[in-house]
Amino acid sequence: MDIKALTAGVSVSPQITPEEIQSIKDYGFRSIICNRPDGEGADQPSFEEVSAAAAKLGLEARYIPIISGKVSDDDAQAFDKALSELPGPTLAYCRSGTRSATLWSLAKADALSVADILAATKSAGYDMGGVVRRIVNGGKTPTDRADASYDVVIIGAGAAGIAAASSLRSRKPDLNIAIIDPADIHYYQPGWTMVGGGIFDAPDTAKTMGSLIPRGVHWIKAAVAAFEPQDNAVILDGCRVVKYERLIVCPGLKLDWNRVEGLVETLGKNGVTSNYRYDLAPYTWELVQQMNEGRAIFTQPPMPIKCAGAPQKAMYLSGDAWFRRGVLKDIDIQFNNAGGVLFGVKDYVPALEKYVEKYDATLNFFHNLVAVDGAAKKAWFDVSKPDTPVERIEMEFDMMHVCPPQVAPDFIRVSPLADDAGWVDVDQATLRHKTYDNVWSLGDVMNAPNAKTAAAARIQAPIVAENLIADIDGRAPVAQYNGYGSCPLTVERGKIILAEFGYGGTILPSFPKIFIDGTKPSRAAWFLKEKMLPPIYWKAMLRGREWMARPEKVTAN
Q: Mind listing the pLDDT tens digit for each residue in 350-363?
A: 999 999 999 999 99
Residue from 199, 158, 154 nearest 180 by CA: 154
Ranges of H-type helices in 15-110: 21-26, 47-56, 73-85, 98-107
**Residues β-bridged to residue 63:** 34
Angstrom distance (rounded) from CA 487 to CA 498: 6
454-472 and 159-171 helices cross at what angle (nearest 10)? 40
Phi and psi at residue 350, to the nearest 5°:
-55, -45
Least confident of 75-84, 169-178, 328-337, 504-513: 504-513
Q: Residue 435's pLDDT is what?
A: 97
Q: What are phi and psi of 56, to 5 degrees?
A: -60, -30
- For the chain, the first-to-last Cα distance in angstroms comes to 57
pLDDT digits (tens, 9 = 90+) for 19-38: 999 999 999 999 999 999 99
- Residue 137 is predicted with a pLDDT of 83
Read out DSSP for 301-366? -SSP-BSTTHHHHHHHHHHHHHHHHT-GGGEEEEEEESSSSS-SSGGGHHHHHHHHHHTTPEEEET
Of 452, 507, 122, 175, give the one whose Cα is nearest residue 309: 452
Average pLDDT, integer, range 6-20: 94
pLDDT of residue 406: 96
Cα distances (Å, whole numbers) of residue 196 to 412, 456, 493, 521: 30, 23, 12, 20
Q: Specify the long-range contacts of residues 125-129, CB closer than 8 Å, at least 24 apart.
A: 125/4, 126/4, 126/12, 126/97, 126/98, 126/101, 126/102, 127/416, 128/101, 128/102, 129/228, 129/230, 129/416
pLDDT confidence tier of residue 557, bands split at 50, 70 and 90: very low
Does residue 147 surpass a pLDDT of 90?
A: no
Q: Which residues are within 8 A (CB) of 71 and not within 5 positions of it... i.e. 6 or more apart?
A: 99, 102, 103, 106, 131
Q: Averaging pLDDT over each range in 357-361, 516-520, 539-543, which range is the top one?
A: 357-361
What is the CA 540 to chain-centroid distance, rounded? 26
34 as an active site residue: the answer is: no
Residue 229 in this model has a pLDDT that exceeds 50: yes
Q: State residue 476 phi and psi, 5-degree precision.
A: -75, 165
Q: Is the pLDDT of residue 492 over 90?
A: yes
Greatest CA separation found in the chain? 86
Least confident of 77-91, 215-229, 452-466, 540-554: 540-554
pLDDT of residue 555: 55
pLDDT at residue 67, rounded to an integer? 83
Rounded Cα distance, 61 and 334, in Å? 59
In the predicted model, is pLDDT for residue 116 greater than 70?
yes
Of the candidates 94, 239, 403, 487, the residue annotated as catalytic is 487
Whose CA is closest to 180, among 262, 228, 242, 122?
242
Are the CB atoms for 292 and 298 separated by under 8 Å?
no
| Burial degree of 408 (CB within 10 A; 0-12, 13-18, 19+) | buried
- Answer yes or no: are the C-beta atoms of 440 and 432 closer than 8 Å: yes
Instruction: Report pLDDT digits (tens) over 377-432.
Output: 999 999 999 989 999 999 999 999 999 999 999 899 989 999 999 999 999 999 99
Give the predicted TM-score (pTM) of the model: 0.84
Q: Confirm if 480 and 448 have CB atoms less than 8 A apart.
A: no
CA dihedral sign of residues 20, 25, 26, 30 = positive
Q: Which of 34, 239, 250, 307 is catalytic?
A: 307
Report how far residue 219's alpha carbon sits from residue 494's, in angstroms, rounded to the nearest whole number.
39
Local structure of residue 108 (DSSP, 8 states): T
Angstrom distance (rounded) from CA 336 to CA 154: 37
Half-sphere exposure of 296 (CA within 13 A, CB side): 30
Is residue 9 within 8 Å of residue 88, measured between CB atoms? yes
- Given a cut of 80, whether residue 452 has pLDDT beyond it is yes
Close Cβ partners of 116 (under 8 Å, ≥ 6 residues apart)? none
Whether 54 has a pLDDT exceeding 50, the answer reads yes
State mean pLDDT over 256-271.
Answer: 95
Cβ within 8 Å of residue 288, ≥6 positions away: 196, 197, 198, 317, 318, 321, 322, 399
Lowest mean pLDDT among 133-147, 295-309, 437-451: 133-147
CB neighbour list of residue 283: distance below 8 Å, 6 or more residues apart: 268, 273
Residue 94 known to be catalytic? no
Residue range 209-223: mean pLDDT, rounded: 94
Query: Rounded to an integer, what distance in angstroms lies between the CA atom of residue 162 and that of residue 77?
Result: 42
- The answer to whether 33 touches 94, Cβ cutoff 8 Å, is no
DSSP state of 551: P
pLDDT of residue 441: 98
pLDDT band at 42 (very low <50, low <70, confident <90, very high): confident
Is residue 539 left, alpha or beta, with left meaning phi > 0 and alpha meaning psi from -120 to 50?
A: alpha
pLDDT band at 314 (very low <50, low <70, confident <90, very high): very high
Measured at the CA of 78, the angle between CA 18 and CA 135, to 5 degrees, comes to: 110
Average of pLDDT values for 159-180? 96
Mean pLDDT of 434-454: 96
Distance CA 148, CA 81 (A): 36
Phi-psi domain of 377 (left: phi exceeds 0; alpha: psi -120 through 50; beta: other): left
